[in-house]
Homo-oligomer: A and B are copies of this chain.
Amino acid sequence: MKLADLAPRIGATVRGNGATDVIRVRGIEEAGPGDLTFVSNPRYLARLATTRATAVIVAADVECALPALITSNPYLAFARAVGVLHESPPPPAGVHPSAQVDSSAVLGEGVHVGALAVVGPRVRLGARTVIHPHVTLYADVVTGDDCVLHSGAQVREGSRLGQRVVVQNGAVIGADGFGFAKDENGRYHKIPQVGVVVIEDDVEIGALTAVDRAALGETRIGRGTKLDNLVQIGHSVTVGEDTVIAGQTGIAGSTKIGSRVVLAGQVGVIGHLEVGDEVIVTAQTGVGHSLEKGSVVSGSPSLDNRSWLRSIAVFARLPELQRRVRELERALRSDRNPS
């Protein structure tokens, strides 16, 4: 594709020869002739001198000899360029003969249901939604238009998905929350989990991630939020909009996570908390109390990030600190009892 044709599709303008042809997108080190690459991180600017790419996406203030696509957000333009140059056609509309679709299900225009998928009673699928093989949709599941559910995803009864929701392989939406009541003999009795899960528009759910249904009411993932793989979302949790939750993070029941929050990998958040908007939680942090809007926290249990950084620096020198205390004690003793 010529740069002049690609530019308007990715929100960029051409600098240099717009007739330059690119066929795919590659990283700056791997790129060769015919490849389009990009630089968004200033750290990698130096590599522009040596890349073998044919063209590059950069910000306006970056000088380079290559033909370039100029944009204020090279990373976003890169994302779009991948979409354009590596576009793969969606699976064709239709239901595979081996799929088991209940006669009461309603399928929108252009829906694809793959081999051996199960679509339960009263399920409604929006237009162009793609159901890959081995997906199970229990009764009364609803999806919006243009959703993609990858193979092995399991969606339990009554779950509601918005528009353009992507569910990666093996994810589980709407399994029973972890709720039990203890009797006088210390035995646990299941609290039937009769709530639902609501996934809003433009959410992505990672592979092998579990979003539990609510005990009563609903568990809700807000518009535009992205969950990575192996994440655990407990029952009755609500997550706001445009929040990012990285791999293996877990959020216990009834906690409310705000919008534009970033939870890094392997974070744990206990139940019944409120985590404000724009909070940032670094990797492996354990959040044990509610957090105000804009907090940045680290550690287990979590502290303000700057305090934690200072404490952790001293932690690494604790044996030295202990030795200094011992020497002070010795010095004081010898001052008091000069021999």
Interface residues of A (CB under 8 A from B): 25-27, 30, 72-73, 75-76, 78-80, 82-83, 86, 96, 98, 100, 114-116, 118, 132-134, 136, 138, 150-152, 154, 156, 166, 168-170, 172, 175-176, 178-184, 186-192, 194, 202, 204, 206-208, 210, 212, 215-217, 224, 226, 228-230, 232, 234, 242, 244, 246-248, 250, 252, 260, 265-266, 268, 270, 283-284, 286, 288, 300-301, 303, 307, 310-319, 321-322, 324-325, 328-329, 331-332, 335-336
Contacts and interface: CB of A to CB of B under 8 A. Distances in A.
Contacts of A86: 192, 194
A170 B118 contact: no
Given A152-B136, A187-B224, A268 B248 contact: yes
Contacts of A212: 207, 229
A215 B82 CA distance: 9
Given A152-B152, A192-B83, A250-B230, A208 B170 contact: yes
Contact of A310 (B319, B335, B336): B319
Taken together, the copies of this chain in the complex come to 3
A210 B79 CA distance: 23
A175 B229 contact: yes
A213 B166 CA distance: 16
A134 B132 CA distance: 13
B242 A246 contact: no
A324 B329 CA distance: 8
B246 A248 contact: no
B150 A152 contact: no
A181 B318 contact: no
A246 B177 CA distance: 11
Contact of A134 (B96, B118, B329): B118
